[in-house]
Chain A
Amino acid sequence: MSAQGSHSEGSAVNTGLVVFALLAVLTVVEFVVAVSVDWNLPIIMAFAVLKAGLIVYYFMHVVRAWVEEEGG
Chain B
Amino acid sequence: MAVVAVTATERKRLSINQLGLWLFFLSESFLFAALATGRFYVAGTDRPEDLDQLLGLGITSILLVSSLTAYRAEVAIAHGDRKNFLRFLAATMLLGLVFVVGVGFEWTSAEFSPSDPFGTAFFSMTGLHALHVISGILMLGMVFYLGARGSFSEERHWGVEATIKYWHFVDVVWVFFYPILYLIEW
Interface residues of chain A, those whose CB is within 8 Å of chain B, are 1-2, 4-5, 9, 12-13, 16-17, 20, 23-24, 27, 30-31, 34-35, 37-41, 44-45, 47-48, 51-52, 55-56, 59-62, 64-65, 68-69, 71-72
Contact = CB atoms under 8 A, between A and B. Distances in A.
B15 A69 contact: yes
Contacts of A59: 67, 70-71, 168
Given A2-B78, A39-B185, A48 B176 contact: yes
B158 A20 contact: no
A16 B22 contact: no
B113 interface: no
Nearest to B67: A59
List 3 A-B pairs, minimum CB-CB distance, nearest first: A34-B183, A4-B78, A9-B79
Contacts of B158: 1
Contacts of B68: 16-17, 20
A2 B183 CA distance: 37
Interface of B is mostly: helix
A2 B67 contact: no
Nearest to A37: B185
Contacts of A68: 11, 15
B121 to A, nearest CB: 15
Given A2-B157, A55-B168, A69-B14, A38 B185 contact: yes
Nearest to B158: A1
A22 to B, nearest CB: 11
27 contacts: A1-B78, A1-B161, A2-B157, A4-B79, A5-B79, A9-B76, A9-B81, A12-B78, A13-B72, A13-B75, A16-B72, A23-B67, A27-B61, A31-B183, A34-B179, A34-B183, A40-B183, A45-B184, A51-B175, A52-B175, A55-B171, A59-B67, A59-B71, A59-B168, A65-B21, A69-B14, A71-B11
